[in-house]
Amino acid sequence: MIDTDKRRFFRKGTSNVVFYEGNGIKGIGRTQNISLKGALIETDKKPPPVSSHLKLAIGVEKFYGLTAKVVWIKKATIDKWYFGVEFDNIQKFPALNIMEIKLKSPVFKEGDMIPKKYTCDGEDISPPLSWEMLPEETQSLALVCDDPDAPLGTWVHWVIFDIPSYIAELPEGIPPKKILENGIKQGKNDFGKIGYGGPCPPEGIHRYYFKLYALNKKLILEPGITKDELLEAMKGYMLAQGQLMGRYKS
């Protein structure tokens, strides 16, 4: 339980992925509450100490100028920490009032093991995904799947975008084509191929994050782009996001 006085400047809000860096520490967490003053962040590793100044990126993996100061830390369990930050310049980023999309799959739940069928040890086809709670202004959707536990850094498994807003699911086995029905486009993964490449960890259990973004425009991009190119093009157009994390061990 978080002490009431430590939550004084937070309001209940959406839960978004946040990347942070400061005092020689990098990490990924989720904003459990966010306001114009600060945020409550949950993470699975010890965060930077109190008074540290952080760079933050909420919803995307590139830092774009948002900074904050750590004001308190609390250890909840052996692998869960909470820490509070006060923003330095949140007023410059009105787009951070982002809604949350509910992203799910019928073949695995949040934190579950991904079935072998959807990995390099099986059929290596994309899993079925569905979503709900899109903002009315949504014009298109984009989805990225990556593995932050890869030995050479985050490994991209899937880039797919220009998904029409009236589509609420992707069936399993999306074919590895640059352009699909309804104008959906796919980018290049870190295997150097178009479309989905399933989990294939060299050792240990890895985490695989499926991240869905609702955008207020259709992106004017060619198929075959990288994740970094997609994230750069999405800046300023994100309305909502959702995430589903699965695990796998070869």
Identify the weakest region by mean pLDDT among 86-95, 142-151, 152-161. 86-95
Cβ(54)–Cβ(48) below 8 Å = yes
Q: ∠ CA 104-181-114 to the nearest 5 degrees?
A: 30
Decide if 53 contacts 25 (C-beta within 8 A). Answer: no
Evaluated on CA atoms 133, 139, 145, 149, the torsion sign reads negative
Mean pLDDT calculated for residue range 225-248: 91
Residue 34's nearest CA partner among 99, 110, 102, 92 is 99
In the predicted model, what is the mean pLDDT of residues 120-132?
A: 97
Q: What is the pLDDT of residues 201-220, one digit of tens each?
A: 999 999 999 999 999 899 98
Q: Read off the pLDDT of each residue in 125-149 and give the average, rounded to a whole number.
A: 93
Q: Are 33 and 51 in contact (CB under 8 A)?
A: no
pLDDT in tens, 53-100: 999 887 666 677 889 999 999 998 888 999 999 988 765 665 555 567
Is the model's pLDDT at 230 over the cut of 90?
yes
Contact 79, 44 (CB under 8 A): yes
For the cut 80, the answer to whether the pLDDT of residue 241 exceeds it is: yes
Give the chain's domains with CATH numbers: 4-96 (2.40.10.220), 99-248 (3.90.280.10)
Q: What percent of the chain clears pLDDT 70, i.e. is strictly above it?
A: 86
Q: Is the pLDDT of residue 4 over 80?
A: no
